[in-house]
Amino acid sequence: MNLLAHAVLSPDLALVRVGNVAADFLARPDEIALTGALAEGVLLHRRIDTITDKHEAVKRACGRLIGYLRFSNPIVDVFFDHFLVNNWPLAVPVESYVHNLHAEILEHLHLLPENTQFVLRRMIQDEWLLSYSDFDGLRTTFHRMEQRILHRSGRAVDMAGAVELFESQIAAFELDFREFWPDLVQSVSTE
């Protein structure tokens, strides 16, 4: 799952939630150096990713991404956050939830490495989490991911093109999400 789902699946502990959201932006040495609740959040993030990657509905959704197979998992993660935003499972409105999450991140930002702080500030400034709600926001999200891949590996990748495929098969992707999400919630709450 992507950033919003990681936040939602965290226990009601700010530092765990911040670690869970920040995990994808931590270099391995920085991740290992974390302790306490932040480290617990990173471990939760990794556990959620493992559960996600093994689920049959996720594998099925990834299989639809012909031409994107190398990047199918992160693409499906973003697609599923689209459904999460649009089928919000919590009592508090998604905008309020994201605003509160941003405040928690800013309060604890100083505990994270500088590179991670930079990315999280950008996430807040550009409202990444709410941008998952529509197709233009999905394209913008994938353009950001393409830039990170290009910066890290020097490899140009077209992930944003997957949005057209998503639009054409949205009902099937949504069925996969609806099968997967309750299983993920159950797995995370029982482990």
Confidence of residue 109 (pLDDT cuts 50, 70, 90): very high
- Lowest mean per-residue pLDDT among 24-33, 50-59, 72-81: 24-33
Interval 41-50 mean pLDDT: 95
* Domain spans of the chain, in order of start: 3-190
Contacts of 46 (CB under 8 A, 6+ apart): 23
Q: Angle 148-154-156 (CA atoms, 0-180°, nearest 5)? A: 75
Mean pLDDT for all residues in the chain:
92
pTM above 0.75, yes or no: yes
The per-residue pLDDT for 1 is 61
